[in-house]
Amino acid sequence: MSSKLVHFVEPLAKTSLQEFLAFAVVLVSTLGITKAIYNGFFHPLAALPGPKLYAMSHLPISWSRYRGRIPYTFAELHEKYGTVVRVSPDEVSCASPSAFKDVYGPRYGKGGPLTRDTRTAPLKDTFGAVGMFQADVQEHARIRRQLNPAFSERASREQEPLVMGYINSMIQKLRNATARGEPIDVERYVMWATFDIQGDLVFGEDVFKCIENEQYHPWINISMNFFVGGVYVHALYDISPWLLWMYQRFFVPKKIADASSCHLRTTLDLVDKRMAAGKTDHPDYMSFITSESKEGEALTKEQMYANAQMLVMAGSETVATASVSTLYLLLAHPETMARAKHEIRAAFGSDRDIAAASVSQLPYLMAAIDESMRVWPPVATSFNPRQVSSGGLTVDGYFIPEGSMVGIHNHAIGRLESYFRDAKKFVPDRWLGDEKYAGDARETFQPFSAGPLNCIGLTMGRMETRVILAKLIYNFDIELMPECSNWLENQKNYIAWHKPPLMVKLTPVKRA
């Protein structure tokens, strides 16, 4: 051994364990403090507005994610700091009309659309393919072309009987429930209906039977827990990828691991069964994908594995949230419910007249839905922020360097007085030409996102929401129970809103 190495190692041999641990703590603390100072004052994002504590460490934003408070946090930050806010050492939140074009747009001549953040997305090894939410820009475009036939105008028309069947079953179950004379949690019934619809459209049959059995299927409960788990993973990864690895390797409870494994196996089995069935007796997504896709572009089994859960969750929970949030806001503002009720009941001679085409002729109902999604958007956060590509990005005069994460948060935008007058009030008339709201920045209202990566199912989602509300309001007089007077307050958000029961009293409308 060389004399230099001996000279270096000899003091370490004489160091006690306590001294070594103390040195390690001091070293780690010094490195952490140095990194925090760099992040706050010397980082390329240091000039952006925002609280220094958020700029110096991932801990504040990760804590907000863990508590389910992200939409509220971003709204507060934008209200205080403006349209561009640095919310962590490497993440920026934007809230402006130009941001949709700059961040979510096609970016012609600038390298194409920004790709989604996939650092904590499921690995390709899980399914043998990636899902649309985890794909890069080119792969996303390919998957979207493969899925497009299932979400065309023609597909929506042919799938309408399936949708109406489940909604009509929900209405009948609600009629039966009113006979018991007790308040009803209408949120559960709407969730059951939307999950049954999407389950059938994805898997080709009534796989969940929520409405039939008047209870959630275990697959749904575990899927909702995946959302919570996904947020926790994101929070841990931001703090330290090593911390996330240690949690996943040593601390995930066996009960949760077993439930996840069972859920995955169930999803794969359902996909296998649907793809083996070939044709079904009604048009679901797969029937359009297989019959209308160009040669070589039909979805493989592995791609269906990777996209199945996304298709069910994205098309059900969001529709249910939009429907019940609109219903609550109408009930909380009796004058708006009176107008919606008059419009709907005057438009239809019978329940059978309520259909996809006819509900599109209800301007006040559509305005109420849009206003609800502005006040309480089903997708309140950016979900997967975009990763800034080479050359960086300029938004509202602020330069955001390559590698940074940037997102747009609907909940924050909808609550800014600079864009919407009386931003925190529920005012459907703002969408019907009321001069008082002529100055609203309507281009910032993008509940289904914007650009090439926007929501593929917006046509079906809008149709379901309108029909659900029209049938509820046509068939029942609805009274909000006092304990739900503040129903929206303090809901937690883990990608999806976790909603408490929406208790109402339903009285069937008697007609001659």
Q: Does any domain span residue 362? A: yes
Instruction: Calculate the alpha carbon distances from 238 to 61, 337, 385 in Å.
Output: 9, 44, 13
Q: Which of 4-18, 146-160, 216-230, 454-468 has the lowest mean pLDDT?
A: 4-18
The arithmetic mean of pLDDT across residues 6-14, rounded, is 55
Q: Does any domain span residue 504? A: yes
Q: For residues 183 and 16, which has the higher predicted lDDT (pLDDT)?
A: 183
Q: Is the pLDDT of residue 3 over 70?
A: no
Using the 8-state DSSP alphabet, how is residue 201 labeled? H
Residue 478 neighbours by CB distance under 10 Å: 18
Place 244 in a pLDDT band, splitting at 50, 70 and 90.
confident
Q: Does any domain span residue 25? A: no
Q: Is the pLDDT of residue 406 over 60?
A: yes
Q: For residues 356 and 250, which has the higher predicted lDDT (pLDDT)?
A: 356
The arithmetic mean of pLDDT across residues 394-411, rounded, is 92
| CA dihedral angle for residue 102, residue 104, residue 106, residue 110, rounded to 10 degrees | 40
Instruction: Identify whether the C-beta of residue 264 lies closer than 8 Å to the C-beta of residue 309.
Output: no
Q: Does any domain span residue 201? A: yes
Place 383 in a pLDDT band, splitting at 50, 70 and 90.
low
Instruction: Identify whether the C-beta of residue 301 lies closer than 8 Å to the C-beta of residue 267.
Output: no
pLDDT of residue 20: 61
Place 19 in a pLDDT band, splitting at 50, 70 and 90.
low
Q: Does any domain span residue 159? A: yes
pLDDT of residue 153: 85
Place 143 in a pLDDT band, splitting at 50, 70 and 90.
confident
Q: Is the pLDDT of residue 142 over 80?
A: yes
Q: Does any domain span residue 38? A: no
Q: Is the pLDDT of residue 160 over 90?
A: yes
Q: Does any domain span residue 58? A: yes
Q: What does the mean pLDDT of the chain come to?
A: 87
Q: Work out the end-to-end distance of the chain between its first and last CA atoms, rounded to an integer number of angstroms.
A: 103
- Which residues are within 8 A (CB) of 387 and not within 5 positions of it... i.e. 6 or more apart? 114, 115, 116, 117, 403, 404, 405
Q: Is the pLDDT of residue 465 over 80?
A: yes
Could you list the residue range(s) of the whole structural domain that residue 47 is in? 43-508
Count of domains for the chain: 1
Burial 345-365 (b: 16+ CB within 10 A, else e): eebbeeeeebbbeebeebebb
Q: Of 302, 292, 312, 386, which is closest to residue 131 (Cα–Cα)? A: 302
Residue 23 neighbours by CB distance under 10 Å: 12
Q: For residues 483 and 458, which has the higher predicted lDDT (pLDDT)?
A: 483
| CA dihedral angle for residue 457, residue 462, residue 465, residue 471, rounded to 10 degrees | -130
Using the 8-state DSSP alphabet, how is residue 299 labeled? P
Residue 85, amino acid: V
What element of type H or E holds 480? Answer: strand 476-480
| Residue whose pair of structure tokens reads 């196996």 in the numeric block | 265
- Which residues are within 8 A (CB) of 263 and not within 5 positions of it... i.e. 6 or more apart? 218, 219, 222, 223, 226
Place 121 in a pLDDT band, splitting at 50, 70 and 90.
low
CATH number at residue 114: 1.10.630.10
The arithmetic mean of pLDDT across residues 287-291, rounded, is 81
Q: In this predicted model, what pLDDT tens digit does every residue of 62-114 receive, in sequence order?
A: 999 999 999 999 999 999 999 999 999 999 999 988 888 888 888 877 778 88
Q: Does any domain span residue 421? A: yes
